[in-house]
């Protein structure tokens, strides 16, 4: 599947949001293939397992043969190289995201100068959302269907029993 210009979009995606989907779709205007790469982070306590997130995102991206969904552990730059890419996609919502992402990009550049970080600003309508905010709101029974793809909303309803 991965041909031409490939970019890797790493993250926890717990859950995958409309903001994430928007970034993937926008990256597809610049790259031939986007690899959504779920980072296995034992330090985090995710709502959904890696296997569940893989399955959920694959369902959302069904029919788009320019998107691959995968998981990895270890250094992102090493994963990027294994996937025959030299680009990492990161979304920026505001200045607080920029500070963190800038540090990460500099560290990644130090680890492998051939791997570039590409930053896309989040669409204005998703500027204020994050997976954590959506999870917390859903856990308390809030209606979050406008923030996540329908399949993800169904999975949140299953997990919390109400929304």
Per-residue pLDDT at 3 exceeds 70 = no
Spot the catalytic one: 5, 44, 82, 125.
44
131 part of the active site: yes
Distance CA(121)–CA(93), nearest Å, equals 6
Q: Give yes or no: 20 in active site.
A: yes
Q: Is the pLDDT of residue 1 over 60?
A: no
User: Which residue out of 26, 58, 59, 93 is catalytically annotated?
Assistant: 93
pLDDT in tens, 122-157: 887 887 888 999 999 999 989 999 999 999 999 999
Task: Please name the residue that has the structure tokens 């399955």.
Answer: 55
- What pTM value is reported for the model? 0.93
Asked if the model's pLDDT at residue 98 lies above 90, the reply is: no
CA gap 8, 67 in Å, rounded:
10
Is residue 44 part of the annotated active site? The answer reads: yes
Single out the catalytic residue among 83, 131, 135, 153: 131
């Amino acid at each position: 599947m991965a041909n031409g210009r490939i970019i890797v979009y790493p993250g926890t995606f717990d859950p995958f949001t409309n903001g994430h989907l928007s970034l993937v779709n926008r990256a597809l205007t610049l790259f031939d293939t986007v690899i959504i790469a779920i980072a296995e982070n034992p330090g985090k306590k995710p709502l959904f397992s890696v296997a569940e997130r893989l399955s959920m995102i694959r369902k959302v991206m069904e029919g788009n043969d320019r998107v691959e969904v995968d998981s990895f552990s270890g250094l992102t730059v090493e994963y990027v190289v294994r996937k025959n890419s030299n680009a990492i996609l990161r979304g920026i919502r505001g200045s607080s995201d920029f500070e963190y992402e800038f540090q990460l990009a500099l560290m990644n550049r130090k680890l492998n100068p051939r791997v570039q970080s590409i930053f896309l600003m989040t669409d204005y309508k998703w500027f204020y959302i994050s997976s954590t905010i959506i999870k917390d709101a859903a856990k308390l029974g809030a209606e979050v269907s406008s923030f996540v793809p329908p399949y993800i909303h169904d999975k949140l309803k299953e997990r919390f029993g109400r929304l």
